[in-house]
């Protein structure tokens, strides 16, 4: 019963994240993210029973059919959704809590070659945009949004929006008041300061120019006067 409830929750997650989904049959038969998730259920169960070889084989068949590679050791919560799927890679020690959505090309990758926790942990309600790379044993807080194409290499606090390469927090939502605080971009601020300095220097140079010209014109004649 728990299994059926959990599979139903996966189908519901598709409707929550994909406006293109029409009915449960469609989700059941033509959503690769759903298929990859169900392959992983079986592979992960066998992995926990310490059965050799077969978990990796099931994971490989799932990858062959869907283009989504989920290591059997990865822990995945309820209501998990992968849209389109192709190119998604989820490493062995990744942990994904409930209601997480990943788009195509997302990597939850490791940085260490040691057999230890080396992949990201994603909190509840996290959304990771297409092509984003989350690297290392970092923690992504609850309700975080990761922008498409971002490369996130450090942990991200809850309710944040992180974008860019390397990933930078640009917004933090306050869930109590439902307000958004935009954070300043330090690189942009430095560029603006530089622009102001260049403008000030240009002004100073312009003020100096007529004097320089007068001095330059006057000096030969002055010299001539002196020579006479
Ligand atoms: C990150 C994301 C969730 C942000 O959505 P949001 O909360 O509505 O935030 P905003 O659109 O207000 O963006 C906030 C800031 O981040 C910037 N930003 C948003 N997405 C970005 C991205 N992928 N890369 C770089 N900057 C991005 C915006 O320009 C904005 O900057 P500004 O405040 O200087 O104008 C969204 O932009 C995104 O990338 N979603 C993934 C969608 C996806 O992968 N779809 C695939 C479907 S197949």
59 φ/ψ angles, rounded to the nearest 5 degrees: -60, -40
Binding site membership of 169 for ligand 1 (Cβ less than 6 Å): no
| Of 165, 183, 201, the domain-final residue | 183
Question: 128 with 134: CB under 8 angstroms?
Answer: yes
* Per-residue pLDDT, 226: 45
Clarify whether residues 179 and 191 are in a common domain. Answer: no
Atom 20 of ligand 1: nearest residue by CA position = 147
Q: 18 alpha carbon to ligand 1 midpoint, in Å?
A: 17
Locate all alpha helices (DSSP H) within 105-185, ordered by sequence.
Answer: none
Q: Name 161's Cβ contacts closer than 8 Å, sequence gap at least 6.
A: 144, 145, 147, 169, 170, 171, 172, 173
Split into its structural domains, the chain has a count of 2
The reply to whether 70 and 42 lie within a common domain is yes
Q: Which of 148, 168, 174, 187 to mutate to test the pocket of ligand 1 (most atoms within 8 A of CB)?
A: 148
179 lies in the same domain as 217 = no
188 lines ligand 1 (CB under 6 A): no
Q: Are residues 59 and 12 in the same domain?
A: yes
pLDDT of residue 72: 97
CA-nearest residue for atom 32, ligand 1, is 170
The pTM assigned to this predicted structure is 0.83
Clarify whether residues 112 and 220 are in a common domain.
Answer: no
**Residues 100, 169: one domain?**
yes
Q: Which structure tokens are listed for 59?
A: 């994971």
Note whether 19 and 47 are same-domain residues: yes
Q: Are residues 140 and 57 in the same domain?
A: yes
Q: How far apart are CA 34 and CA 43, in angstroms?
A: 14
Mean pLDDT by 10 residues, the chain (228 residues): 92 94 93 96 97 96 96 96 94 96 96 91 97 97 97 96 94 87 83 95 88 59 48
| 15 and 118 together in one domain | yes
Co-location of 115 and 203 in the same domain: no
Instruction: Quote the domain boundaries for residue 209.
Output: 187-227
Same domain, 179 and 194: no
Residues 36 and 67 in one domain: yes
Q: Residue 86: which CATH number?
A: 2.160.10.10
């Amino acid at each position: 019963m728990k299994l059926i409830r959990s599979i139903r929750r996966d189908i519901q997650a598709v409707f929550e994240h994909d406006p293109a989904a029409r009915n449960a049959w469609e989700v059941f038969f033509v959503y690769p993210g759903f298929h990859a998730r169900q392959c992983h259920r079986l592979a992960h169960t066998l992995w926990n029973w310490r059965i050799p070889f077969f978990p990796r084989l099931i994971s490989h068949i799932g990858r062959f059919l869907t283009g989504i590679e989920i290591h059997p050791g990865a822990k995945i919560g309820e209501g998990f959704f992968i849209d389109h799927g192709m190119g998604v890679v989820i490493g062995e020690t990744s942990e994904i809590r409930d209601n997480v959505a990943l788009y195509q090309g997302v990597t939850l990758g490791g940085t260490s070659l040691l057999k230890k926790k080396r992949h990201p942990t994603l909190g509840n309600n996290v959304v990771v945009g297409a092509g984003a790379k989350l690297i290392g044993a970092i923690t992504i807080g609850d309700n975080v949004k990761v922008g498409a194409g971002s490369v996130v290499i450090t942990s991200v606090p809850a309710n944040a929006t992180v974008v860019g390469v390397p990933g930078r927090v640009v917004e933090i939502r306050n869930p109590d008041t439902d307000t958004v605080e935009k954070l300043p971009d330090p690189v942009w601020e430095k560029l603006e300061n530089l622009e102001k300095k260049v403008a000030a220097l240009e002004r100073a140079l312009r003020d100096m120019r007529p004097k320089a010209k007068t001095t330059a014109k006057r000096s030969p004649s002055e010299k001539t006067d002196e020579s006479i």
